[in-house]
Amino acid sequence: MVEELGFKPFIISPNYKIVTEQFVKDAHAMGIKVLPWTVNTKEEIEKLKALNVDGIISDYPNLF
Mean pLDDT by 10 residues, the chain (64 residues): 87 97 97 97 96 96 83
Cα torsion angle, 24, 43, 39, 63, sign: negative
Type of residue numbered 20:
T
CB of 18 within 8 A of CB of 37?
no
pTM: 0.89
| Distance between CA atoms of residues 41 and 59, nearest Å | 10
